[in-house]
Amino acid sequence: MQTEADPQLRLLLDPVLDWLEDPGTEEVAINRPGEVFVRQAGMYTKYESRLNYDDLEDIAILAGALRKQDVGPHSPLCATELPNGERLQICLPPTVPSGTISLTIRRPSSQVSQLKEVSSRYDASRWNQWHSRRTRQNQRDDEILTYYQQGDLETFLRACVTGRLTVLLCGPTGSGKTTMSKTLISAIPLHERLVTIEDTLELVIPHENHVRLLYSKNGGGLSAVTAEHLLQASLRMRPDRILLGEMRDEAAWAYLSEVVSGHPGSISTIHGADPVQGLKKLFSLIKATKQGAGLEDKTLIDMLSAAIDVIVPFRSRGDVYEIGEVWLAADARQRGETIANLLDHH
């Protein structure tokens, strides 16, 4: 049954209706006024759009009203549905930079595949190869270990980024870790869709298809949105990668949740003089959260072991910035060690 808001909403959505009604469309992502990214056949294409800020705000408010949800500065995040069943994630300021609005519309498939089509629709070449997973892990380890052992830092770091390894940069204030995070982000393939989660806009994102999400420190601010809230929203926005800024407070749990939920390739920073101290800092930050406090230490260590691939330490000596001994999970596995060994290190 249509509500009074439906015809108004349809009118406002007119600039993107052709894509929404196209069976080949998987997603319509509006990151800011004047542009739209349409995902078809697994790839995003950018188009100009006549939707301005006021149009996007009206769409957000009307779409929220359809599900009796308030949308505005005090409630800037909303997960709802459009009248035809499309799922919509709304992000308004202050959770996105002023002057921007993010609307991510996921179009449901109109077809139900038959079981006989499974083999043609899915790449299931490894479905019965659980027993060989260790062999595949060893093959991936051997590849990154080759770069690690060759001693070519640039090639190694590039392989970490393009190989979607999860990288943690640690060091004291002013050691160069944030600068390096920007460098590594610039090496991410430009076609990827990125979502960042920060408390201040520190990162530099050269990728066209990106959304900057902002949370309030200590849950304060106009909307009291936390990093965890933004993580839940970002998972509905089909990002190729979710990037967190500096690891602090509840952002640590969001970081771990993000990686273990199937979004590797994150690049984040944390205070800590070396990989041991950086990891211990991350462990303590997670344990200080409500979610982390309920985890047994072994469970948390197992999650960290599955999540973190590389820890790169930084320090500065006068005007010289130094990269210290890099901890690589693949190297540790080869030596029969795990992240637990780092935490036990004194």
What tens digit of pLDDT does each residue of 275-298 get? 999 999 999 999 999 889 999 999
First to last CA, the chain: 65
Q: How far is CA 327 from the centre of its chain?
A: 23
Q: Share the mean pLDDT of the chain.
A: 91
- d(C-alpha 242, C-alpha 210), whole Å: 10
Q: What pLDDT score does 52 carry?
A: 98
Q: What pLDDT score does 251 carry?
A: 81
pLDDT band at 259 (very low <50, low <70, confident <90, very high): confident
- d(C-alpha 106, C-alpha 336), whole Å: 44
Amino acid at 298: K
Stretch among 153-157, 164-168, 197-201 having the lowest mean pLDDT: 197-201
130, pLDDT greater than 90: no
CB atoms within 10 A of CB 61: 18
Q: Do 140 and 240 form a contact (C-beta atoms < 8 A)?
A: no
| 80 φ/ψ angles, rounded to the nearest 5 degrees | -145, -170
| 302 φ/ψ angles, rounded to the nearest 5 degrees | -65, -40
Q: How many residues does the chain have?
A: 346
Domains observed in the chain: 5-106 (3.30.450.90), 132-343 (3.40.50.300)
3, pLDDT greater than 70: no
267, pLDDT greater than 50: yes
- d(C-alpha 40, C-alpha 106), whole Å: 11
223, pLDDT greater than 80: no
142, pLDDT greater than 80: yes
Q: What pLDDT score does 5 carry?
A: 58
Contacts of 342 (CB under 8 A, 6+ apart): 275, 276, 279, 327, 332
229, pLDDT greater than 70: yes
Going 172 to 174 to 176 to 181, the CA torsion angle's sign is positive
Region for 224 from its dihedrals, namely left if φ exceeds 0, alpha if ψ lies in -120 to 50, beta otherwise: left
User: Residue 242: beta bridge partners?
Assistant: 195
pLDDT band at 1 (very low <50, low <70, confident <90, very high): very low
- In the structure encoding, which two tokens stand for residue 243, read together? 């990037």
Percent of the chain with pLDDT over 70: 96
